[in-house]
C-alpha cells in the first residue's frame, strides 16, 4: 500500500503553516510571495459572516530571527474600517504583543497557526469595540451601528475585493 510522504520543508515556519492544518480554515489562505523568503508570507482572510462578509483582507507576516521567543510582525495591507485595525494596517491582537498585562500575549508555546486563527477571529468573536485601537471606528459603531455597517461595506467595495 502506498503511503504518501509528508512534504519536506527546509524552513520550520513553512512547515508550521503548511502542515499546521491552517487549510482547515476555509476563510484563510496562505501565500508565499517569494519562495526564497519563507519567513515572509501573506494571509488572505475572507470572512463568511458578520460585518466583513464578502471582503478579502490581506495580511503580511514576517517571522523574525528570534521567533518563537518573540511574536511575528503582522500588518494589514487592506484598508479597513475596523475597531481593532487602523486604516494604516496596525493590528490590536493580544497574542501579537510581546508583553501583555493580561497574560494573553505572545509566549514561546504559541505558533503561527495561533496567529492565523487570531487574525481570522478579529472578524468574528474577537471583534472588540470595548478596547479599540481605531477609536473612531469603535465610537462610530456605538453612535450608529447601521451607518458603521454602511461604511464597512463601502470600504469592502473600494479596498477589499
Summarize pLDDT for 71-86 with one digit per residue, the tens: 999 999 999 999 999 9
> What confidence category does residue 69 fall into, taking pLDDT thresholds of 50, 70 and 90?
very high
The predicted model scores a pTM of: 0.85
Q: The CATH number of the domain where 104 resides is what?
A: 3.10.110.10
Q: Which are the contacts of 53, defined by CB distance < 8 A and separation ≥ 6?
A: 47
Task: Report the number of distinct structural domains present in the chain.
Answer: 1
Write the pLDDT tens digit of every residue in 26-40.
Answer: 999 988 899 888 889
Residue 1 lies in a domain: no
Whether 93 maps to a domain, the answer reads yes
- Out of 28, 40, 76, 92, pick the active-site residue: 92
CB proximity list for 106: less than 8 A, separation 6 or greater: 70, 71, 95, 96, 97, 98, 100
Is 92 designated active site? yes
Q: Is residue 7 part of a domain?
A: no
Amino acid at each position: 500500500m502506498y503511503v504518501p510522504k509528508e512534504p519536506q520543508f527546509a524552513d520550520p515556519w513553512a512547515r508550521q503553516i503548511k502542515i499546521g492544518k491552517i487549510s482547515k480554515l476555509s476563510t484563510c489562505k496562505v501565500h508565499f510571495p517569494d519562495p526564497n523568503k519563507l519567513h515572509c508570507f501573506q494571509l488572505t482572510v475572507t470572512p463568511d459572516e458578520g460585518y466583513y462578509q464578502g471582503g478579502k483582507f490581506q495580511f503580511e507576516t514576517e517571522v523574525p530571527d528570534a521567533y518563537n521567543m518573540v511574536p511575528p510582525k503582522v500588518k494589514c495591507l487592506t484598508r479597513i474600517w475596523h475597531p481593532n485595525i487602523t486604516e494604516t494596517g496596525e493590528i490590536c491582537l493580544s497574542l501579537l504583543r510581546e508583553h501583555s498585562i493580561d497574560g494573553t500575549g505572545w509566549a514561546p508555546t504559541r505558533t503561527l497557526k495561533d496567529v492565523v486563527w487570531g487574525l481570522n477571529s478579529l472578524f468574528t468573536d474577537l471583534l472588540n469595540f470595548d478596547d479599540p485601537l481605531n477609536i473612531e471606528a469603535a465610537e462610530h459603531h456605538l453612535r450608529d451601528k447601521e451607518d458603521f455597517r454602511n461604511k464597512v461595506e463601502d470600504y469592502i467595495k473600494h479596498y477589499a475585493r
